[in-house]
Amino acid sequence: MKILVLRFSSIGDIVLTSPVLRCLAQQRSDVEIHFATKAAFADLVMHSPYIHKVHVLGDDLGELISRLKKEGFAEVIDLHHNLRTSRIKRALGVPAHSFPKLNIEKWLLVNFKRDRLPRTHIVDRYMSTVAHLGVKNDGVGLDLFIPPEREIALSTLPETHRSGYTALAIGAAHFTKRLPEHRLIELAGLVEGPFVLIGGREDQAVARAIASAIGGRVFDATGKYDILGSASLIKQACSVIAHDSGAMHIACAFRKTIASIWGNTVPAFGMGPYIPQHPERAYILEVKDLPCRPCSKIGHGHCPKGHFRCMEKQDLRAIANFANA
């Protein structure tokens, strides 16, 4: 039976689909799994031993649909559940299963601070899409596969970082999910020993400011590596500090000790760090009892209230202590 799994973006969301792929492949030997995603994120699934074929979405959704029609899928597992995936499902005309996005419950929490969200992780909501096939969550956690030739050799790092380092992932998709620059510099000063700054090109200005303030203990990797290269640096770190971001989920896929920093979003949305076999390795840092939080289910380009207390009041010493332990 040929099954198409849909998830077009983003880094963390795609990593969070990995238990579905593993459990489906291991518990149903009659299934051939195909995965459709955007080109920018294809590396996250391209090397999975559980996926038979990856279908890449370019600029033309119609062209992708034409290719998918030729595959003869028996059903679709929709782990994105948006307008584009709805169009694909209509075009293929086969049974399809999607997960509850809980948009109404999230809206109530954001706008009226009425918490009616179930305490169900997104992984288990994803898993509900394959329950009709008799597939159950194996409780192993997340996966991310990096082929040997894509690993970053520690010998290429400064000599000071070859015997261990903390990974500090400074990026996140939205401003209100990131510590401001002055707080990142303060946090970096509290982290013991060498550390590596992880992020994209958009994080390079902040990374330079941190490196300038801290000095030789810093290796700035922002913008220097692709997704799997950055993931390899996270994989080889002694511990990881990250915002609510794709880097946090990548750290969980490698069962790293992870201090996750939460600003305008909340773990109650169901997308907290997921290491079910070692929950003690995940530490959630959030400023509780703020009447304005959460102010969005995704994030903002600025603090709507102007005070940014969800990040300005973070206990940086607690974050550093967890990473340093």
Q: How far apart are CA 59 and CA 191, in angstroms?
A: 43
Mean pLDDT of the chain: 97
- 102 and 68 inside one domain: yes
- 207 and 93 inside one domain: no
Domain final position from 133, 168, 186: 133
The pLDDT assigned to 185 comes to 98
Confidence (pTM): 0.97
Task: Give pLDDT tens digits for 70-124.
Answer: 999 999 999 999 999 999 999 999 999 999 999 999 999 999 999 999 999 999 9
| pLDDT at position 29 over 90 | yes
| Residues belonging to the chain | 325
Task: Give pLDDT tens digits for 139-181.
Answer: 999 999 999 999 999 999 999 999 999 999 999 999 999 999 9
Q: How far apart are CA 10 and CA 258, in angstroms?
A: 20
Segment 213-240 shows an average pLDDT of 97
Say if 145 falls within a structural domain. no
- 161 and 295 inside one domain: yes
The pLDDT assigned to 325 comes to 87
Q: How far apart are CA 226 and CA 43, in angstroms?
A: 9
Segment 135-140 shows an average pLDDT of 98
- 96 and 169 inside one domain: no
Segment 186-205 shows an average pLDDT of 97
- 179 and 305 inside one domain: yes
- 52 and 97 inside one domain: yes
The residue type found at 271 is: M
Domain final position from 133, 163, 197: 133
Full 3-state SS string of the chain: CEEEEECCCCHHHHHCCHHHHHHHHHHCCCCEEEEEEEHHHCHHHHCCCCCCEEEEECCCHHHHHHHHHCCCCCEEEECCCCHHHHHHHHHHCCCEEECCCCHHHHHHHHHHCCCCCCCCCHHHHHHHHHHHHCCCCCCCCCCCCCCHHHCCCHHHCCHHHCCCCEEEECCCCCHHHCCCHHHHHHHHHHCCCCEEEECCHHHHHHHHHHHHHHCCCEEECCCCCCHHHHHHHHHCCCEEEEECCHHHHHHHHCCCCEEEEECCCCHHHCCCCCCCCCHHHEEEEECCCCCCCCCCCCCCCCCCCCCCHHHHCCCHHHHHHHHHC
- 245 and 214 inside one domain: yes
Q: What six digits make up the tokens of 10?
A: 């983003």
Full residue range of the structural domain in which residue 210 is found: 155-324
The pLDDT assigned to 134 comes to 98
> What is the number of other CB atoms lying within 10 angstroms of the CB of residue 29?
6
The pLDDT assigned to 268 comes to 96
- 177 and 259 inside one domain: yes
- 164 and 78 inside one domain: no
The pLDDT assigned to 286 comes to 98
Give the CATH number for residue 204: 3.40.50.2000
Task: Give pLDDT tens digits for 277-312.
Answer: 999 999 999 999 999 999 999 999 999 999 999 999
What's the angle, vertex CA 56, arms to CA 51 and CA 59, rounded to 5? Answer: 165
The pLDDT assigned to 101 comes to 95
- 218 and 114 inside one domain: no
